[in-house]
């Protein structure tokens, strides 16, 4: 149920009755072992799994995101949008889909810094989109405490801010897109310091040279599969409750 593969007639017949999922990610450094597209691949892959359990369809993802915080912008390849661009891009896509008859939307986020801007887009959409209902969620917020304990039993949980290019993202990529993971380049790393404030321009020592913020060597495909199924289960339950999918 990928919109980019549908004909216009299929789309016309499905758009009003399905939940419309819009994955939103980034083009951002994820260490020496993962591709720049991690934050797109993860929510898009989760969205495809959701479609196996719910009447839903997946829009082409927004493959760029808001500027990476904590030094991410220092890396070649991290290619980010201004906040107004992300707001307008998200709003245009939602508004057009609404115009075609879409009413129930799930914005599935894979990049932490996007949240405020996609929220603003939804707020602007709802000014004149009668009957629209939208859920915005980030996949890591759907992970239960019990699952965190299980996944981080050996490594210890550092908090989601530092779980970048580390246990969960590497595990999910090993499950969803193993060909894109450089297995021989997986490492553990961490920042020299993690200030509780933002510094502009960011100094070099708040992000390690590798771009990995925690212990990626504790990742595994098995953890990725377990985590993906767990998150999809939570999303499906949420969608049934909040977006009224009967199936
Ligand atoms: Zn990421």
30 is catalytic: yes
pLDDT of residue 245: 57
The yes-or-no verdict on residue 205 having pLDDT over 90 is no
Catalytic option among 30, 33, 163, 189 = 30
Domain boundaries, the chain: 3-240
pLDDT at 247: 43
Sequence-distant (6+) residues with CB within 8 A of 36 are 27, 28, 29, 30, 77, 78, 79
Q: How far is the CA of 88 from the centre of ligand 1 (A)?
A: 22
Superfamily of domain 3-240: Creatininase (3.40.50.10310)
Please give the Cα distance from 130 to 219 (Å, whole number).
44
pLDDT tens readout for residues 23-33: 999 999 999 99
Q: CB of 45 within 8 A of CB of 108?
A: no
Element (H, E) at 106: strand 104-109
pLDDT-derived band of residue 6, with 50, 70 and 90 as boundaries? Answer: very high
Q: Are strands 19-24 and 104-109 parallel, antiparallel or unpaired?
A: parallel
Q: Is pLDDT above 60 for 224?
A: yes
Please give the mean pLDDT across all residues of the chain.
96
pLDDT (average), residues 49-54 = 96
- Burial zone of 223 (CB within 10 Å; 0-12 exposed, 13-18 middle, 19+ buried): buried
Instruction: Write out pLDDT tens, residues 127-182.
Output: 999 999 999 999 999 999 999 999 999 999 999 989 999 999 999 999 999 999 99
Q: Is-catalytic flag, 5?
A: no
Instruction: Tell me if residue 184 is catalytic.
Output: no
Q: What is the pTM of this model?
A: 0.97
């Amino acid at each position: 149920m990928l919109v980019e593969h549908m004909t216009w007639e299929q789309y016309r017949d499905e758009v009003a009755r399905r939940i419309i999922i819009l994955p939103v990610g980034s083009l951002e450094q994820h260490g020496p072992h993962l591709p720049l597209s991690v934050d797109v691949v993860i929510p898009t892959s989760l969205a495809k799994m959701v479609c196996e359990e719910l009447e839903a369809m997946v829009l082409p993802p927004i493959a760029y995101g808001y500027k990476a915080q904590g030094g991410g912008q220092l890396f070649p390849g991290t290619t980010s949008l201004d906040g107004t661009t992300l707001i307008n891009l998200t709003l245009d896509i939602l508004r057009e889909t609404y115009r075609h008859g879409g009413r129930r939307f799930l914005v599935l986020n894979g990049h932490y810094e996007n949240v405020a801007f996609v929220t603003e887009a939804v707020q602007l959409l709802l000014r004149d989109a009668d009957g629209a209902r939208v859920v915005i969620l980030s996949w890591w917020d759907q992970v239960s405490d019990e699952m965190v304990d299980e996944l981080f039993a050996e490594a210890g949980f550092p908090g989601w801010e530092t779980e970048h290019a580390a246990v969960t993202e590497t595990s999910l990529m090993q499950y969803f897109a193993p060909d894109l993971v450089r297995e021989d380049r997986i490492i553990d790393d961490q920042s020299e310091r993690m200030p509780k404030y933002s510094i502009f321009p960011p100094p070099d020592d708040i992000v390690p040279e590798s771009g990995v913020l925690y212990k990626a060597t504790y990742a595994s495909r098995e953890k990725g599969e377990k985590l993906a199924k767990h998150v999809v289960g939570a999303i499906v339950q949420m969608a049934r409750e909040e977006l009224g999918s009967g199936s």
